[in-house]
Amino acid sequence: MRSSLPLERWSWRVLLFFAATAAFSIVWQHSIWVAVLLWLLAWAAGRVKPLWPTGPFALATGILFVSFLAGALFGVDPSHSFKTVHKTLTFFLFFLVGAMALEPLRTRKLLLCFVYGAAFCGIWGIYQHLFMGRERVASFGGHIMVFGGTLMTALLVQAFHIFRSPRYPWHWAAAGIMGLALLFNETRGAWLGLGVGLLGLLWAFRRRWLLPALAAAMVAYFLLPSHYQLQVRSIWDPTIRWTNMERLLMWKAGWKMSQDHPLFGIGHDNVLQTYPAYRLPGTREATVSHLHNNFVQVLAQNGWVGLLAYLGWIGTYFAAALRRRRWPKEVQDWNLVLTCVFLAGLIWGLTEWTFSHQFMNIQFFLLGLQANLWRQGKPS
């Protein structure tokens, strides 16, 4: 969206509002469609030409979307799949919106609005825990897992703000609020993703902080109440919580689904009705809506075709993100930050089906912003 557009000012304001309220709920995220409408009006008036994302990652993203459609079409219940597969289309539309031409300064402003919007939701989460007696907190939309992933993403962006301006107190305050809210959220996969993402950021920007950060994390663990220490240990010890063993059995059931439907899988959103036939002895839940692992879910849902498309999408992403380019430092820095965010999302996806609607809207919008950054660099 360019400064010469007659509707540009309003489009930009709507995007800022979207970023600031993206963590609230899916309802607030719908504000982005106002910006899309304004942009389409400007396009129809001949004031702007679309700058579609190009290159291998854009192609891989399109192939991933087609693999979801193929799974829905050839799965066990296409009529049911197509009731919800439109959500996947929404992800890719958010990607296209994020990939439109924005200057790096505007990318930074959008991310700053996103972070402080998430911090505001963090205040609400802390209030829920301390004054409403809720053990696991959520944002205003009420989805615990999505809130955990959103806080994970915002904390990684905020860590970079702290690296750049360590003496700015509001950056530390926002990070503390979101960190406490994420603790009360108790999404262990998001904790793990945050840890890996922070290690990536420290390696990229502050290597001398690595050892002090690891030491601080160990000390913080021993200062936690015993309940949270147990939650942390349960990340690597599957015997601590029954849900850990349950997820291992879910993954085995997903593998069995893929053996019976190897090519295109059972189809989008068909796990709920298919799982009882593959449920293994020892599981407590009669059925589940997803398999708590992106790779297993894609394999069961979209078959080997879908899994290869997913793996190709990930590989193409890292090939593009880590390719050496002659970039301005601002562009290079934000590319590294968003790469760590993507890595954290992958780690979280080892224990969760992260293609939940609200979180992936944010994830694909950020991928669009990053694709726009790639457009601004030249391979060295």
Show the CA angle centred on residue 155, arms to residues 372 and 362, nearest 5°: 45
Per-residue pLDDT at 7 exceeds 60 = no
Residue 27 lies in a domain: no
State which residues form the domain around 175: 57-212+277-379
Average pLDDT over residues 127-131: 95
Q: Which of 193, 197, 191, 156 is nearest to 175 (CA)?
A: 156
Question: Is the four-CA dihedral 303, 78, 365, 36 of positive or negative sign?
Answer: positive
CA distance 70 to 63: 10
Please give the pLDDT value at position 47: 67
Residue 260 covered by a domain: no
Going by pLDDT thresholds of 50, 70 and 90, the confidence category of residue 8 is: low
Does residue 286 form part of some domain?
yes
| Contact status, residue 371 vs residue 321, Cβ threshold 8 Å | no
Q: State the total domains in the chain.
A: 1
Q: What was the pLDDT predicted at 162? A: 94
Are 101 and 51 a contacting pair, CB within 8 Å?
Answer: yes
Place 295 in a pLDDT band, splitting at 50, 70 and 90: very high
pLDDT at 184 over 80: yes
Residue 51, exposed/middle/buried by CB under 10 A (0-12, 13-18, 19+)?
Answer: middle
> Percentage of residues in the chain with pLDDT exceeding 70?
95
Q: What is the chain's mean pLDDT, rounded?
A: 88
Rounded CA gap, 201 and 203, in Å?
5
Whole-number Å distance between alpha carbons of 370 and 189 = 24
For the ranges 241-245, 305-309, 322-326, 333-337, the lowest mean pLDDT is seen at 241-245
Res 323 pLDDT > 90: no
Question: What pLDDT sits at residue 6?
Answer: 41
Interatomic CA distance for residues 201 and 194, integer angstroms:
10
Question: What are the start-end ranges of the E strands in 294-361?
Answer: 325-326
> Is residue 59 pLDDT above 50, yes or no?
yes
Instruction: Identify whether 340 is part of a domain.
Output: yes
CB-neighbour burial class of residue 322 (10 A; exposed 0-12, middle 13-18, buried 19+): exposed
Q: Is residue 364 pLDDT above 60, yes or no?
A: yes
**Does the pLDDT value for residue 2 go beyond 50?**
no
pLDDT at 129: 94
Whole-number pLDDT of residue 5: 41
State whether residue 148 is helix, strand or coil. helix
Does residue 334 belong to any structural domain of this protein? yes
Give dist(CA 13, CA 198) in Å, integer. Answer: 31
Question: Measuring CA to CA, which residue among 344, 346, 324 is closest to residue 335?
Answer: 324
237 versus 267: which is more confidently predicted?
Answer: 267
Residues 90-117 have pLDDT tens digits of 888 888 888 876 777 788 899 999 999 9
CA distances from 5 to 11, 36, 38, 243, 372 (A): 9, 13, 10, 53, 19
Q: Find the helix or strand (DSSP H, E) in which 23 lies.
A: none
Q: Is residue 224 part of a domain?
A: no
Read off the pLDDT band of 234 (50, 70, 90).
confident
pLDDT tens digit sequence for 261-293: 999 999 988 998 999 999 888 888 888 889 999
Reference 345, options 335, 336, 355; nearest CA is 355
Q: Is the pLDDT of residue 255 over 90?
A: yes
E-strand ranges in the chain read 325-326, 378-379
pLDDT of amino acid 138: 93
Q: Would you say residue 36 lies in a domain?
A: no
pLDDT tens-digit series, residues 24-43: 988 888 888 887 787 777 77
Q: Would residue 314 count as lying in a domain? A: yes
Q: How confident is the model at residue 12 (pLDDT cuts 50, 70, 90)?
A: confident
C-alpha to C-alpha distance for 185 and 151, rounded to whole angstroms: 9
